[in-house]
Structure 1
Amino acid sequence: MGYNELPSAKPRSVFAIAFEVAKEPMFLLLVAGGLIYLLLGDLQEALMLLGFVFVVMGITLFQERKTERALEALRDLSSPRALVIRDGEHKRIAGREVVPGDLIVLSEGDRVPADAELLSCANLSADESLLTGESVSVRKVCSDGMAAMARPGGDDLPFVYSGSLVVQGHGLAVVKATGLHTEIGKIGKALQKVESYETALQKETTHLVRNLAILGLGLCALVVIVYGLTRDNWIEGFLAGITMAMAVLPEEFPVVLTVFLALGAWRISQNRVLTRRVPAVETLGSATVLCVDKTGTLTMNRMKVKKIFASGEFYEIDDARERLPEAIHEVIEFSILASQIDPFDPMEKAFNQLGLDYLAKTEHIHSDWELVQEYPLSKKLLAMSRVWRSPSGKDYVIAAKGAPEAIADLSHIDEAQHQHLSGAIQSMADEGLRVLGVSRAYFGGTDLPDGQHDFRFQFLGLIGMEDPVRPGVREAIQECYSAGINVKMITGDYPGTAQAIAKQIGLPSNQVVTGPELEKMSDSELQKRLKEVSIFSRVVPEQKLRLVQALKANGEIVAMTGDGVNDATALKAANIGIAMGGRGTDVAREAASLVLLDDDFSSIVKAVRLGRRIFDNLKKAMAYILAIHVPIAGMSLIPVLLEWPLVFFPVQVVFLELIIDPACSVAFEAEPEEADVMSRPPRDPMKPLFSRYTIGLSLLQGLSVLVIVMAVYAVSLYRGQGEAEARALTYTTLIIANLGLILTNRSWSRTILETMRTPNPALWLVVGGALTFLAMVVYVPFLRDLFGFGYLHFIDIALCFMAGVASILWFEGLKMVNGRIN
């Protein structure tokens, strides 16, 4: 049978994971680029490029251990200490040592070590929210020996489940299932089977890098052959070919993707959101559906008295209220007397808290009374009573609480009172409140009766409780709607409760699909209903997973929030799993992509805003990379084909890379968000980063720069200014045009002059650094000779500046035209 724990998968070694990572095309290209630099003798650039390889590999290694950590967390949760009866003796053993057939003793506050059948119990209630999502504890009954082991959820089941918490009463149970065979074990098994996925952007970047690498190798071979055949100098041809490969080799793409996502994760963490899976940063901006678990996510996961019905009237319990009406003091008094002295049950805690807040210094709190006897709740009578004796009184005082119908039965109310009471119960239930009745009795005899019905109870009133909505949830959901994100509530709670919460937070509440209804639906019918319904209640864990999968089948990008064990599989299957960090379980946190460290629902909206900003800036950076490589590649190829002197050698290309790399990976990443970032719909998940429009604009930008730079070079040669001066003029023009491309791509809707008002210190460091290096290679003799440049006068620099600026003017004009149209 094995231990009562989830089996741990054998972890892969670091070397095995590293080998898998190293087989990816983008990593192979990074290594190849580093080796090329080594062959060229440029050790610094080679080490920098190879250093990126190890950084990216380290991040990937960290992410690959998500599944192992999730399973370890599940094992820890499912193996508490257990009190068992073996050979007639009580023994405290490790939960992992419990076996089927063991008798386990359960008391208030115990974590249940295994799935078990109750042989005896008194007032036993369990919190199964980790398994079912129900915020209210469920009542347990003793087994009649005939029932088969059933799924968790709902009252009056004679079973307790591994990982659940006993909140009231005590009992004796026989173990029926351990380890993987428990309900929590089945969740762990399902979690193991859910596969992680590669994001669309990763696939797209890999595909683009591979194609550009093939193009670069092809052009490299072409340059070597053409140069060798036309000039009969194969060594210089090989050098020209290496330069061509370096000009086209797309090493920036994977580096930029990694840097943007890593820095994006850091920025998101500043808003108290921990990124556990870095690619989720990219996916955030395209989320179209947010699946919300009600308990502990939209609500506080604690009970609070909301309304009291007494003397034929309703009384709202408002936090702003300084005093409570006298008419309800007695209801609160006897609800406390009917509860444990130091309660663990959330509802009894709510009664006690209300008494402490409003009745602490009144005659209604009886800390000096003696508890004489307790009448437990039973399946036949869903009410419990506690008998008290005061120090000064002779009579016994009996307080009862329970289901309203049971309390009404104990109180022997007449038909007219019963109808009035039924209307009040229904009214409170329609508001999603958990309703309990309270009554009192006095007994003057010496021997207490055997049953509760032997007392003459007087009905006092009804108490309606709610699990309060978290502050700021309504506003956060409205922001989601304004950003084009649909919100779905998926909960294990009752339909009425779910609808009441939905009304409070602004979700459409006219339609509800329950778990049993969902069970009968085909996949196609479910996909259709998901387009119409926002509330799903009485849902079990496997159905949460099915809902996520159906949404994904509809083409949605799904973000799923949750905090319980029951959410783990859906969190992992969703495009973006968002776990609650404060109240959430280890299992949920380990399986999720993001963790809200402060459990603040509004942090999700901030994370989405940042996700959209990151994607916008990533798109700008990628477009810039594509654009700037066009003139570099063109100026490496065209002079070879036209048998002109070479413009670029490897050292010039390396210098350009020193500008390009920080520009695309730091300056663009730090660019603030666009004004409409949260007022536009999510990015079409089917639309690639490199759309035809994006590629077309990038190529046009690059070609316009290439035409200007080539014209400067041709005119310089035609005027007989010599190779060195022509190369210096051409290179300076290209640097100025490069800086122009950086500035114009800061925004595709605002002009350069408009973006100047938006601060970006990293950008000006790049621009200042580029101009400083340019001045050094033009005017420091040693560097000028190394680069093969001639001396440039002020008029030459001015001409280069005007030519460089001219290359991007058309795009600035296009922005102005589009701005007027929009």
Structure 2
Amino acid sequence: MFFNKTIEQVLEEFGSNPITGLSQNQSEVKREKFGLNQLTTKKPKTLIAMFFAQLNDILIYILIAAAVISALLGETSDAIIIAIVIIINATVGIIQESKAEKALDALKKLSTPKAIVKRDGQLNEIPSEEVVPGDIIIIDAGRYVPCDLRLIEAANLKIEESTLTGESVPVDKDASLVLPGEDIPLGDQKNMLFMSTLATYGRGVGIAVSTGMDTQIGKIAKMLDEKVDDETPLQKKLAQLGKYLGIGALFICALMFIVGVLQKRDLFEMLLVSISLAVAAIPEGLPAIVTIVLAMGVQKMIKENAIVRKLPAVETLGSVNIICSDKTGTLTQNKMTVTKFYADGKLGAIDSLNINHTEHKLLLENLILCNDATYSENSKTGDPTEIALLQAGVDYSIFKDDLEKTHKRIDEIPFDSDRKLMTTVNKYDNDYYVMTKGAIDNLLNLCTKAYIKGNIIEITPNIKKDILAASNNMSDNALRVLGAAYKILPSSHVEIDSLERDLILIGLVGMIDPPRLEVKDSISLCMKSGIKTVMITGDHQNTAFAIAKDLNITNDSSEVISGTELDKMSDVELNNRIESIRVFARVSPEHKVKIVRALKSKGNIVSMTGDGVNDAPSLKMADIGVAMGITGTDVAKGAADMILIDDNFSTIVAAIKEGRNIFTNIKKTIIFLLSCNIGEIIALFLAILLGWATPLRPIHILWVNLITDTLPALALGVDPGDPDVMKYKPRNPKDSLFKGESLNLLLNGLLIGILTLAAFVIGAKYYSGDTNLFPLFPGNLSEDALKHAQTMAFVVLSVSQLVHSLNMRNEKKSIFQIGLFSNKYLIGAIVFGILLQDFIITVPFLANVFSVHSLSLMDWSFVTILSLMPLLLNEIVKIFKRSSSII
């Protein structure tokens, strides 16, 4: 900390001379000690490391074991298909992970290419990487700050720090300040300059106190480099599901092995059965399908003006219950705007100003002429406050260029941070108008008269009281207040020191970085949807509260807290109070991370929006980080999960709606796949338990899981969304994926399994010539009869699952109510799946690979009836569900 030390103390600490700077030898020694002035990044993962990381999953281990056993037993086709599944899943994972984190690279690019330093008494322009602590750095307008500096000189110096602190307007700097204490927010350290901020006005000289990773930007880089738990709720649930399925598969295999030993079956046959059960227990296509559904969701998001950088973010959006939003540029327009004025003794909105009133017109002319900014349709340059004043004139068709041609500037007194005033002298016909603007406290002391209702009158105590009341009213609403005054001179030849004396007050204007017009409605919709909006900003507390109040984030000032108060709170204290705080003001990057961590500790799913460098660590820490696409820095975009193309807060709400629908569709997909796999397990388990032949071969199950299941699962992933989805509260991320679906899952799995066994038994009896009812399954089947029976079971398993996908579209509504063809992709998937199944059993080569037999017309009749049963029975159940909900 150097903001609380005098210039002499800092110079002495670094052994530097403000006149000569460091010597070349000193700079080399310091470079050896402190290193280059650049940010470091961690070593990226190799492709091989990423590949093996993708294999670190219990489901993959089981599949690898199944592939090895299949290969050893000569079941080459099974082993190849399993290997393809593993490679596809690993490849998809690598593609996602290889979209490497670019935040630190973007931070490195923020460093300026050149810096002006004093070395051996000479001014030298050197690469910024060569700057060392103790260097004397020269800063002028338009130059980026190369490292963290303690100012030793400053002349009207203003620094744009919004990307680091969130401050809306450039900050006036003062080298002479020595700030007491240790808890001074970055935005209030007015004797310090920080790496990668921009000088917009004036000049300064500073001593380098921190370089590279020791700068404030470096601290952000370190936070970005920290590993955070970035698994989404769905990823965690799928990982947990994988463990359960893996344990279940091993348990079933062991149980079947015991059953086989007791039944004195062949050991080789039992190994094949075990492989079949392991394969049946695991929906091999599930990870790839979820990834693909999320990827398709990403394409939908782009249409909503949101670019998703990380696929799981699509799903996470659906469970977000807190949006932490940066104020500047996110909730507000990041553009200072005049909103109120005071003239003629009245306070009003700027759009009620009457240009036909002399006082009103003179007020605007004063603010436009006494102004160094430029304004055109394509370019706006200068201080944001002055640009806002020019914009106010443009709104009334008063343009600076035209006005200056008519009223040429003759003389001026530039703005000074001590006076907080600026004055120009402009020619009005034969007279010369002195135009002065600035802070109302300073300006009012220079005014002896006021221009009220066409009359110039002496400022009485009552008039002064009214003026200050209007100023305080605007300040209480977090407006930045500027006063305008003038006087008329018969000649321009006057002493410059006498220009700012005996002025006539025209009026005041109040300005603020206003809220985005559409944000208020979006926040209201969030509130109705059970989503809380929290504002986190680097701006002052009263400004933050005024914006929050205007947007209906909070009306209670006790729900606003400053960064200084935050520093005094322990993590436990913050965790206990975090739910009642709606606005955090004057915060640092470390504070933002602390806030997000506290919110997450309460089980919240947190979204953080922002655009500046200061937002990057919290964007990464949040469950989903959302960066602004237009005003956002590369650092923020690199750290975020999602980028808003239009910088519109309302786009977040649209994205959340899409995210909720996508999660619902993913849930449909998972329930569908698991119910199908349960059907496969039941068919195999019951057959072995009853001492029957194996109804399905491992390759049959792999085919169904990879192809027949996958097509409708993908189609369910793009099912049309629920238009009322934003009327519901966010789902609890702790809720089971199967909440409300467990019974449906088990019953449909049981139904598919029994139907598959029924087909197997019918096929076996029909082709063995057994006409007896008992035993259910005939003994001593010929190889051809067994192949026929397995083929019928294979087709029923496949087609019944295809038909079952129609049931998954809605829990209560009939498929005919929601429209049989309202999801054309699903109908297409069902038809295509049936054609593929027919293709396999009719093409000789494929039939030989899959060990299946062509079916007769009679066989297809049995198969069709059995396959339609899931749809028929579910439609009957839905009738009762609908009637019970009405009652």
Give TM-score, length-normalised by structure 1: 0.90
Contact preservation (8 Å) 2:41, 2:225: no
The farther-off stretch of 150-159 and 174-183 is 150-159
Counterparts in 2 of 1:712 and 1:784: CA distance versus 1, 3 Å:
same
What is the deviation of 1:373?
4.0
Moved more, 151-160 or 239-248: 151-160
Decide whether aligned partners of structure 1 residues 376 and 806 sit closer, same or farther in structure 2, where only a CA change above 3 A counts: closer
Counterpart-to-counterpart distance in 2, 1:146 and 1:725: 89
Deviation at 1:487, TM superposition (A): 0.8
Q: Name the SS for the 1:92 alignment partner.
A: strand
- Pick from 709, 714, 720: which aligns with 1:672? 720
Q: Which of 399, 406, 409 is the aligned partner of 1:360?
A: 399
**Conserved? CA contact 1:299–1:468, under 8 Å:** yes
AA aligned to 1:633 is I
Q: Where does residue 631 of structure 2 map in the other structure?
A: 583
Query: What does 1:329-368 align with in structure 2 at a 5 Å threshold?
Result: 329-342=361-374, 343-357=381-395, 358-360=397-399, 364-366=403-405
Per the TM alignment, residue 576 of structure 1 is displaced from its structure 2 partner at its CA by: 0.8
Deviations 1:676-733 (A, max 9, x none): 3211111101113244x43432122101222333344445545645545544443343
> Does structure 2 conserve the Cα–Cα contact (< 8 Å) formed by 1:495 and 1:538?
yes
Is 1:477 equivalent to 2:523 in the alignment?
yes
Partners of 2:60 and 2:273 lie apart in 1 by 25
User: 1:706 aligns to what?
Assistant: 753
1:492: which partner in 2?
A: 538
C-alpha distance in 1 between matches for 2:809 and 2:261? 42
Corresponding residue of 1:402: 438
> Which residue identity lines up with residue 508 of structure 1 in the other structure?
T
> Over the residues paired in the alignment, what is the CA RMSD in angstroms?
3.2
Deviation of the 1:458 alpha carbon: 1.6
The letter of the residue matching 1:493 is D
Q: Does 1:388 align with 2:421?
A: no
Measure, in 1, the Cα distance between the counterparts of 2:39 and 2:406.
46
Which of 75, 84, 103 is residue 40 of structure 1 equivalent to?
Answer: 75
Report the Cα distance in structure 1 between the residues aligned to 2:629 and 2:56, rounded to whole angstroms.
Answer: 35
State yes or no: 1:800 paired with 2:869. no
| 1:328 lines up with 2:360 in the alignment | yes
SS at match of 1:5: coil
Identify if the C-alpha distance between structure 1 residues 777 and 196 changes in structure 2 by more than 3 Å, giving closer, same or farther: closer
Q: What one-letter code is carried by the residue in structure 1 that aligns with 2:106? A: A
Matches within 5 A, 1:662-741: 662-663=710-711, 665-691=713-739, 693-714=740-761, 717=764, 720=769, 723-741=786-804
Asked whether the equivalents of residues 194 and 573 of structure 1 are also in contact (C-alpha less than 8 Å), the reply is: no
Q: Report 1:415-454 matches (<5 A).
A: 415-442=461-488, 444=491, 446=493, 448-450=495-497
The answer as to whether partners of 2:359 and 2:506 remain within 8 angstroms in 1 is no
Corresponding residue SS for 2:604:
coil
Contact kept in structure 1, 2:55 and 2:90, CA below 8 Å = no
2:338 to 305, 308, 317: 305
Alpha carbons 1:514, 1:536 under 8 Å: kept? yes
SS at match of 2:495: coil
Give the conservation status (yes or no) of the 8 Å contact 1:434–1:464. Answer: yes
Question: Quick check: 1:618–1:669 contact (8 Å CA) kept in 2?
Answer: yes
Which shows bigger deviation, 53-62 or 305-314? 53-62
Q: Is 1:410–1:452's contact at 8 Å kept on the other side of the alignment?
A: no
Structure 2 residue aligned with 1:501 = 547
TM-superposed CA distance for 1:285, in Å, is 0.6
Contact residue 373 and residue 387 of structure 2 kept, 8 A: no
1:157 aligns with 2:190: yes
Structure 1: which amino acid aligns with 2:168? Answer: S
Query: In the aligned structure 1, how far is the partner of 2:35 from the partner of 2:373?
Result: 41
The alpha carbon displacement at 1:378 in A equals: 3.5
* Alignment partner, residue 57 of structure 1: 93
Matched residue, 2:778: none
Write out aligned runs for 1:548-559 (5 A): 548-559=596-607
| 1:404-441 deviation line (CA, Å, top 9, x unaligned) | 11111121444222210111112222333211111224
Equivalent residue in structure 1 for 2:616, among 555, 558, 568: 568
- Letter aligned with residue 703 of structure 2: F
Out of 361, 386, 408, the residue aligned to residue 369 of structure 1 is 408
Q: How many angstroms apart in 2 are the aligned matches of 1:809 and 1:98? A: 77
Q: What are the superposed Cα offsets for residues 584-606 of structure 1, whole Å, 9 maximum, x if unpaired?
A: 11111111111112212221112
Residue identity opposite 2:202 in structure 1: G
1:267 maps to what in 2?
Answer: 300
Structure 1 position 108, deviation (Å)? 2.5
Q: Which amino acid aligns with 1:97?
A: E
Q: Which residue matches 2:207?
A: 174
Tell me how far 1:11 sits from its aligned partner: 3.2
Unaligned runs of 5+ in 1: none
Structure-2 change in CA distance of 1:197 and 1:384 (3 Å)? same
The within-5 A match list for 1:185-334 is 185-193=218-226, 195-220=228-253, 222-223=255-256, 226-227=259-260, 230=263, 233-318=266-351, 325-334=357-366
- In structure 1, C-alpha distance between the alignment counterparts of 2:756 and 2:43, rounded to whole Å: 59
Three-state SS of the structure 2 residue aligned to 1:530 is helix
Which residue among 556, 561, 565 is the counterpart of 1:517? 565
Cα pair distance change 1:281/1:362, threshold 3 Å: closer
- 1:478-518 Cα distance to aligned partner (Å, 9 max, x none): 22122211111111223332233234333222234231333
The alpha carbon displacement at 1:146 in A equals: 8.2
Between stretches 741-750 and 518-527, larger displacement belongs to 518-527
Q: Does structure 1 retain, via aligned residues, the 8 Å contact 2:111–2:195?
A: yes
Give 1:406's aligned amino acid: N
Tell me, in whole angstroms, the C-alpha distance in 1 between the residues paired with 2:329 and 2:875. 50
With 556-565 and 352-361 compared, the bigger mean Cα shift is at 352-361
Q: Does 1:643 align with 2:696?
A: no
How much has 1:287 moved relative to structure 2? 0.5
Letter in 1 for 2:509: I
Cα pair distance change 1:735/1:16, threshold 3 Å: closer
Q: Which position in structure 2 is the counterpart of 1:531?
A: 579
Note the residue ranges of structure 2 that are not aligned, 5 or more in a row: 1-33, 375-380, 449-458, 771-784
- The separation in 2 between residues aligned to 1:115 and 1:150, in whole angstroms, is 18
Residue 815 of structure 1: how far off its partner (Å): 3.1
C-alpha deviation, 1:274, in angstroms: 1.7
Letter in 1 for 2:75: L
> Post-superposition shift, 1:759?
2.5
Matches within 5 A, 1:35-184: 40-42=75-77, 45-46=81-82, 48-63=84-99, 65-66=100-101, 69-143=102-176, 151=184, 153=186, 157-184=190-217
- Aligned mates of 1:742, 1:768 — CA distance in 2: 12
Shift of 1:647: 1.8
For 2:311 and 2:852, the matched residues in 1 are separated by 44
CA distance in 1, matches of 2:209, 2:401: 49
Q: Distance in 2 between matches of 1:273 and 1:6?
A: 30
CA drift of 1:738 comes to: 1.2
Question: 2: distance between equivalents of 1:609 and 1:81?
Answer: 47
Determine helix, strand or coil for the equivalent of 1:531: helix
Superposition deviation, residue 451 in structure 1 = 7.5
Residue aligning to 2:447 = 411
Q: For residues 274 and 363 of structure 1, do their structure 2 counterparts lie closer, same or farther at Cα, with a shift above 3 Å needed? A: closer
Q: Quick one: distance in 2 between partners of 1:350 and 1:500? A: 19
Deviation sequence 1:187-222 (CA, Å, 0-9, x none): 222332352432332233223223323433443455
Alpha-carbon contact 1:141-1:156 (below 8 Å) kept: no
Count, aligned residues:
813
Q: Distance in 1 between matches of 2:875 and 2:204?
A: 77
The alignment partner of 2:727 has SS state of: coil
Are 2:860 and 1:767 aligned? no
